[in-house]
Amino acid sequence: MTRASAAALIVWGLAGLTAASAGALAQDVVVSEETPIVFTADEMSHDRELGIVTASGHVEVTHQDRVLIADTITYSQRADLLTASGNVTLLEPSGDVLFANYMELSGDMKDGIVENIRMVLSDRSRVAASGARRTDGNLLEMANAVYSPCAPCPDDPTRPPIWQVKAIRVIHDDRRQTVEYKDAWLEFAGVPVAYTPYISHPDPRVKRKTGFLSPSIGGSNYLGLVGRFPFFINLGPDKDATVTPIYTASQGPVVAGQYRQRLLAGSLEAEASITVDSRDDVRGHLFSEARFDVDETWRWGADVNTTTDDTYLRRYNFDSLPVLTTNLFAEGFRGRNYAAANGYFFQGLRVDDDPGGTPLVLPMLEYSHVGEPGRLGARPTLDVSLLALTRTDGADTRRFAAEGGWQIERIGPLGGVYTASATLRGHAYHVNNLARSNKADTFSGFSGRVIPQASLDWRHPFVRESETIYQLVEPIANFVVSPYGGNPTTIPNEDSLEFEFDETNLFSGNRFTGLDRVEGGPRINYGMRWGVLGRDSRAGVLVGQSYRVREDDTFAEGTGLEGNLSDVVGTFELVPGSHLDLQYRTRLDKDDLSARRNEVRVAAGPPALRVNANYAFFEREAGSEFESREEIRGAINARVTRFWRSRLSAVHDLTADGGMRFLGINLTYEDECLVFSTDLSRTFFVDRDVRPTDSIFFRVTFKTLGSVRSGISQSF
C-alpha cells in the first residue's frame, strides 16, 4: 500500500495499477480510451491488491464537467464506485450544486444514492430531501422533499420560508428539464394552504416550454364568473403560440390566442379572439403586426387591427382604444433619402364615429431628400407626396404635393447665428363632393396652388460659465415672407383640422401639422430663452410671440393666431435636484394676459414617497371636434418598507359637467421569491353598454413557478 501527501492522482480506467507511489502512478500508467478521473487531496493512499484509492483532506474529484468535493472520498476501481462523506458537494454542468452528508456514485458520477441531500439550482432556488437516487446523470428522484426559491432568514435559518412546496416525491429530469412533484402541498410561513396530487414546472434553465400557464379567475356583472386558462405551445426556438380558453358564465365561452415568430429578416405577432354571446352574436377581434426586411434599404410591414363591434374590446377586457388603425406599408432608407408607400384603414369605436365619413387612405406615397452642403454651405431639400382618400359617404380627395427648398447657416462676427432658407411648394388637388363653408353647393373638380416662402432665422446665445454652472441668455427672431390667399375653399382640409399654437411651433415657417393648410403673409416670430445648467440641476424659460402684418382667417377663433398679434406662449422648467421636477406650459391672451391654456407637470419627493401631478386646461377652438378641457391627474407612489409599496392614482374632470373619472389604489409586496399585488379601482366611463365599473384584482406571483390572478368587476 502506498501513500502521498498533497498529491494529485489520475486514474485512467479500470486496469490495475502497479506504481509504488502517487507520483510514479501518474507517470507509469498506460492511457486507455476511458475519460480519466482526476483526484487532488491533502493525503492519498492506494491499496493495489483491493484496487481502492482513498483521499482525505480537501478532496476534489473531477470527471469531465462534474466536480465532487468532500472531506473523504474512496474510489473502488473494481466496482467503479465513488464513496464520499463529510461536507460533500457535487457541481453539475448545468450549474446546479448538490450538498449532502454522504454519497455513493458511479465513477462517472451519473448514478448513485445520496443521503440528506440539499440542492441549489442555477437560479438560486433550493431543494432539500431526506434521500435521493441518481440515474444516468439525468433523473434525480428525491423523497420527502421541500422546494423554495426563498432565501433562508439570516437571523433564524430554521424559520420556515415565506412559501415552500413540500412533496412525498420530487423528480428532477435533467434531459426534459422539468421538476415534478407528487403528493405536494403549498405552505405559507409554514402553514399548509393548498394540496395537489401532481404539479410540475420547468427547471431554471428553461426559457420556454409547452404547458399550461397560470390561470386567472374573476368575474363581472356582464360576463359573470370568468376563468382564463392559457396554454403555451413552444413551436421552436423562433416561434410560439398561446391558446387561452375563457369561460364566462353569462356570455358563453371565448377562445383567444396569440402567435409570435422571429425570422432572419423580420417578425410576426398576432392575437385574436372569438365568441358567441348570449344573443347569438359573433364577436371577436384581431390585432397583428408584421415586419420584414427586403434588403439593406427596403422593408415592408402590415398592422391589422379590427374588431366586430365598438364595445367588444372593453366589455371583454382586451383593450380600450378609441380608434383601430390598419396599415400596410413599405419604406426605404438610403443615405439622406427616404421613401414610403402606405395604405390606411380606420375603425372608429366612439359613439359619434361615422363609418361612411371615415376615409380609406390608399395610396399614400412619400419621398424625402436632404442634400449635402454645396460650395457655399447651402443644403438643398426635396419632398414629394401623392395621396388618395376615398369615402363611402362624403368627399373624395386626390392630392399631389411637391416642395423644394434651400437652406444655409452662418455665424456672424459678433456670435449671432443666421439661418436663411427658401422653399417653393406646389399642390394639385382633385376632389368630389367637397362641402365648402358659406356655400350651399359642393365642389367637384381640380384645384391647386403654388406657394413661395423665404425666411431668416436669427439667434444670439450669450453664455456665462462658472465652476459648476452654465447660464444661457438667447434672444431669437424669425422673419418669414410668403403670399396671402393660399387656402381657397376649393382645397379640402384633411390633415390640418386640429391646430395648437405653443412654444414648439413658435418659430416654424408653417405651423400646420399637415399639407392642406398653409400659413401666408409676412410675419415675425420673436422670443427669449434663458437657462441655467448645473451638475445635478437645471432651470429654463422660453417666452415668445408672433406678429403678422395682416390678419389671416386661416386660423380659427381661439387658436391664438387669429389677429395681427398672437397670444403669448411660454414654458418654464425647474429641476433643482432629483427630488423635484416641475414643468409649466401656457398660452396667455394677448389683450389681458388671461390664461387660454395651462399645463403643469410636477414630480416631487424621494423614491420612498414620490408625488406626480398633471394639470391641463384648454379652451375650445372654433371648428374643433374637441370640447374645452380641464382636468387633473395625480399619483402618489410610496415605498412603505423594503418589501411593501403602494400607489394611489386619480383622474378628475374639472369642467362644469365633469367629475371623477378614475380612482385606483395598488398595494404590492415583493421579495426575492414572491410578489403579491392588489388593485382596487373605480372607472366612471360611460359608452353604450359599457357602464361605470368597480374592480378589485389580486395577483400572486410565485417566482420560478408562475402567478395566479383573481378579481371581479361590477358595473353600477
- Within a domain: 41: yes
**Same structural domain, 137 and 262:** no
Do 190 and 217 fall into the same domain? Answer: no
Residue 118 CA: distances (Å) to CA of 66, 111, 130, 139, 414: 17, 17, 9, 16, 77
d(CA 308, CA 16): 80
Q: Which residues contact 329 (CB under 8 A, 6 or more apart)?
A: 300, 301, 302, 340, 341, 342, 343
Q: Which of 102, 152, 97, 149 lies closest to 120, judged by CA?
A: 97
Whether 8 has a pLDDT exceeding 70, the answer reads no
Looking at the structure, tell me whether residues 47 and 159 fall in a common domain: yes
State pLDDT tens for residues 233-290. Answer: 999 999 999 999 999 988 889 999 999 999 999 999 999 999 998 888 999 999 999 9
Same domain, 99 and 140: yes
Summarize pLDDT for 585-619 with one digit per residue, the tens: 999 999 899 999 999 999 999 989 999 999 999 88
Instruction: Convert the pLDDT of each residue in 571-586 to its tens digit.
Output: 999 999 999 999 999 9
- Is 184 found in the same domain as 160? yes
pLDDT at 550: 87
Largest CA distance in the chain: 118
Distance of alpha carbon 622 from alpha carbon 626, whole angstroms = 10
Give the contacts of 440 (CB within 8 A, at least 6 positions apart). none
Q: Are residues 134 and 31 in the same domain?
A: yes
With cell 444655409, the residue in question is: 408
Asked if pLDDT for residue 10 goes beyond 60, the answer is no
Residue 247 lies in a domain: yes
Tell me the sheet residues that pair with 475.
528
> What are 160-174's pLDDT values in tens digits?
888 999 999 999 888
- Indicate if 260 and 318 belong to the same structural domain: yes
Could you tell me if 101 and 116 are in contact, meaning their C-beta atoms sit under 8 angstroms apart?
yes
One domain for residues 220 and 339: yes
Residue 504 CA to residue 501 CA, distance in Å, equals 8
Shared-domain flag, residues 716 and 688: yes
20 and 67 co-located in one domain: yes
Shared domain for 49 and 86, answered yes or no, is yes
In a domain, 395, yes or no: no
Of 340, 367, 394, the last residue of a domain is 367
Percent of the chain with pLDDT over 90: 54
Position 675: which residue type? V
Q: Which domain holds residue 72?
A: 2-202
What is the reported pLDDT for 275?
95
Quick one: 150 and 291 in the same domain?
no
Instruction: Check whether 508 has a pLDDT greater than 70.
Output: yes
| Number of domains into which the chain is organized | 3
